[in-house]
Every structure is written in C-alpha cells, then in structure tokens.
Homo-oligomer: A and B are copies of this chain.
Amino acid sequence: MKPESYAKPVIKMTEWEKSESGPKETARVEAFSDGVFAIAITLLVLELRVPEVKGNERLLPLLLHEWTSHLAFVIGFFTILVCWINHHYMFEHIRRCNGMLLLLNGFKLLVVSFTPFATAVISRYIGTIHQQTATNLYALNFFLMGLAMTGIWCYAYQNEMTKSGSPEFLKAVNQLYIFAPIISGVILILSFINIWICLTLFGIMFLIYVIPKKSAARLEKWKHVAS
C-alpha cells in the first residue's frame, strides 16, 4: 500500500484521471458484484442431491430425511440475500471508487463466494457429532462477511466517498455497520459454546440487517431520545 501514498504528492491528477471517478465506475463494480452474489446464491442448489431410492424404499421419506440440506440451503440463501441488500444499500450512498475500495470489495466477494462451501459443510455435518466444528466454520465465514461489509463502509465514509446526506443519518449508518462485526464476532465466540444460541443470534442479525434503512433510522432515533 506504501507505493500508492508515495506517488500521491508528485503526480497531479489529469482531467482524464479525475473523470474515472464518475458514475460509470461504481456502476460496473456493482454489476460485477451482483454477478458474484447471484452466482453464489444460485450455486447453493448444487448441494441438494437427488436421493437414490433403493429396494422397497419410498422417495418422500428420503427427501424429508435430507432436511438439513434444505435448511442449510435456505439459511445460505438468506445469508447471501441480506448481504446483497446491504451491499446494495451501501453502494447507493457511495459515489466514488478507488483501488482500495475495489480491493475491499474484492475481499467481500471472496467471502461471499466461500459461503456455498461453508453452507455445504454445515449441511453435511449438522445433527452429527461434528456439528460444532461445522458451526464454527460458518460463524467464521459470517464474521468475515460482517468485517468486509464494515470495511467497505468505514473506508468510504472516512474518505468522504459517500453522497452528501444529513450528518446524523450518515453517522447512524456508520454505527449500524460498526455493530455488524462486533455482533458476528460474539456469535463466532458463542459458536464454541452452544450452536443454538448462535442460530438465534443469526436470526436477530438477519432481522436488523434485512432492513438497513429502517434500522439506521431507528438507531438515530434511539440516540436522539437518549441524549
């Protein structure tokens, strides 16, 4: 990262270079990210295996028997969906883009594209004696996702790459995203103790972050009432 800051004072930005920070740049980052989100969310279905009926067995019990796969499919789906909703929400408020933001977004997409694997592991081992380790891996994935999400927002916010808005609201959005890795960090620690508390906290995080606009507004209000 040193070379970047090193070059800054020497080279004056030409008109041409400045024009790169236009709306088109963010548009293509969003399009590429949408592609990765859409593929990761759809690849989850590849973990659902068609059961092989043998002898006198019937198909329905075999389908129902794989309920953990189906549950993991739904959990994985909504994890990535909420992640996309927040990515979408952030990039609505980010007007500029640079190399560092592309890298942070790249890290985010790395975690997103890893999610089908973490989902496959939990789907395979939940209900077995290995479910502890599988949940740890999933919670780690979740924590890294929260961290990446927060990284993107905080970098953009501190470098004044966000659109102008009321400072109070922007601050509330910022706090909302600082909470994300904290809560998911707690979930990661709890995943070593009890997986059912974890799943409950996953659900609560889902309810908060599925509606980021409302959650930020509510956070702003609470602070207003408290002060």
By the criterion CB–CB under 8 Å, are A133 and B58 in contact?
Answer: yes
Known: A17-B169, A165-B16, A210-B99. A32 touches B25 (CB 8 A): no
Interface string of A185-224 (1 = CB under 8 A from B): 0000000000000000000000100110110011011000
Q: Which residues of B contact A30 (CB under 8 A)?
A: 28, 31
Q: Which residues of B contact A130 (CB under 8 A)?
A: 53, 58-59
CB of A132, distance to nearest CB on chain B (Å): 8
A169 nearest in chain B by CB position: B14
Within A37-61, which residues are at the interface with B (CB < 8 Å)?
37-46, 48, 50, 53, 58-60
Integer count of this chain's copies in the complex: 4
Segment with Cβ contacts to B, from A120-128, A144-152, A176-184: A120-128
A14 nearest in chain B by CB position: B166
**Apart from A63-B133, A77-B113, what 18 extra A-B contacts exist at CB < 8 Å?**
A7-B217, A7-B221, A11-B221, A25-B92, A28-B88, A31-B34, A32-B37, A32-B38, A35-B38, A36-B41, A40-B42, A43-B45, A45-B116, A46-B46, A58-B133, A63-B137, A81-B106, A85-B102
